[in-house]
Amino acid sequence: MKTIAVIFGGRSAEHDVSIITAHIPVMQSLHAAGGFDVWPVYITKVGDWYADKAMNDFAFFKQSNYEDILKRKRKVRFLFDNGLKFIWPGLLESKIKIDIVFPAMHGTYGEDGSLMGLLRMAKVPFVGCDMAASAVAMDKAFTKQVLQAEGVPVVPFVWCTKSDWSTSIFLEKSAKLKYPLFVKPVHLGSSIGITKVKRQSELENAIEVAFHYDNKVLVEEGVENLIEVTLPITGNDEPELASVERPLNKTGFFDFKDKYLSGGKGSGVNSEYSEIPAKIGDELTKQVRELGRKTYKALGCSGIARVDFLIDSATNKIFVNEVNTLPGSLYHHNWRKSGISSVELVIKLVKLAEERFEDEQNLIHTFSSSILQKVGGPKAQ
Q: Using CB under 8 A as the criterion, which residues of the chain lie in contact with another protein when the complex forms?
A: 25, 28-29, 31-33, 264, 267, 271-272, 333, 335-343, 346
What's 193's DSSP letter?
T
C-beta closer to another protein: residue 28 or 302:
28
220 assigned binding-site residue: yes
C-beta closer to another protein: residue 67 or 275:
275
Which of 12, 329, 338, 342 is an active site residue? 329
191 assigned binding-site residue: yes
Which of 14, 114, 302, 342 is an active site residue? 14
CB of 351 to another protein, least distance (A): 17
**Three-state DSSP state, 297:** helix
Phi and psi at residue 295, to the nearest 5°: -65, -45
C-beta closer to another protein: residue 172 or 272:
272
Phi and psi at residue 68, to the nearest 5°: -65, -40
Distance separating alpha carbons of residues 135 and 2, to the nearest angstrom:
28
Distance separating alpha carbons of residues 338 and 294, to the nearest angstrom:
20
CB of 245 to another protein, least distance (A): 13
Active site includes 190?
yes
C-beta closer to another protein: residue 38 or 137:
38
Query: Taking each helix axis from N to C terminus, what angle separates 200-213 and 167-174, rounded to the nearest 10 degrees?
Result: 120
Active site includes 166?
no
Which of 190, 274, 302, 342 is an active site residue? 190
Q: Tell me which amino acid residue 241 is.
A: L
Distance separating alpha carbons of residues 140 and 79, to the nearest angstrom:
34
- Strand-pairing partners, residue 220, are 157, 182
Query: Taking each helix axis from N to C terminus, what angle separates 140-149 and 282-298, rounded to the nearest 10 degrees?
Result: 100
CB of 188 to another protein, least distance (A): 28
CB of 65 to another protein, least distance (A): 22
DSSP element (H, E) containing 15: helix 15-21
Active site includes 172?
no
User: What residues are annotated to the active site?
Assistant: 14, 190, 329
Residue ranges of the annotated binding site for ATP are 140, 182-184, 190-191, 220-228, 321-322
Residue ranges of the annotated binding site are 140, 182-184, 190-191, 220-228, 308, 321-322, 324
